[in-house]
Amino acid sequence: MIYNQPRSLEVAGLNHGSAPIPMGARVGNMIFTSGISGKDPKTGKLAEGATAQAFHAFENLRLLLENGGATMADVGQVTVLTVDDSLRDAVNAEWLRHFPDPHDRPARHTTVQPLRGGALLQLMAIAAVPHKT
C-alpha cells in the first residue's frame, strides 16, 4: 500500500499555539503523536478539570489516529504525562473506556512533570497502521 498523504497529521480545532509542530506524523505504516492535550476541538480551549481533559485527550488521540488511517486498536504504546499523580483515576477511567479488554491493551507509561498552558495531562502514542488487504 502506498500512502500519498502528507506526513504531518492534524485534528481540526487543535494546535500547539504558535509553535510549528504538527499533532502527529505518519511515517510508513507508523503514527507518532506529539503531546495531545485535553483541549475541546470545538472551542480550541483546554477543558476544565482532569476528568474533562482526560476525556478530550483520549478523543483527540482517536481523531488523530483516524486522520492517519488507524484506530485505537492499532496503538502499541501510550505515554501519559500528568502534573500530579492523583490524576491517574481520571486517566484510568478513559483508558478503560478506550481499552476495555485487559488482554488487548497497549503498553503504557505514566510520568509526573510540569506541563505548559494549564494542561493537567497529555498523551503521546505510537500506532501501527494496518495494511489493507
Who contacts 58 (Cβ-Cβ below 8 Å, separation ≥6)? 94, 95, 97, 98, 123
Q: What is the per-residue pLDDT for 80?
A: 98
Q: What is the per-residue pLDDT for 18?
A: 73
Q: Which three cell numbers stand for residue 18?
A: 504558535
More confident call, 56 vs 1: 56
pTM, full prediction: 0.91
Quick: pLDDT tens for 25-61: 999 999 999 999 999 999 989 999 999 999 999 999 9
Quick: pLDDT tens for 69-116: 999 999 999 999 999 999 999 999 999 999 999 999 999 999 999 999
CA distance 29 to 20: 23
* φ, ψ for residue 19, nearest 5 deg: -70, 135
* Average pLDDT taken over every residue of the chain: 92
The residue type of 111 is T
CA distance 111 to 116: 15
Quick: pLDDT tens for 68-77: 999 999 999 9
Reply yes or no on whether the pLDDT at 2 is more than 60.
no
Q: What is the per-residue pLDDT for 133?
A: 47
Q: What is the per-residue pLDDT for 21?
A: 85
H-only helix segments in the chain: 49-67, 88-98
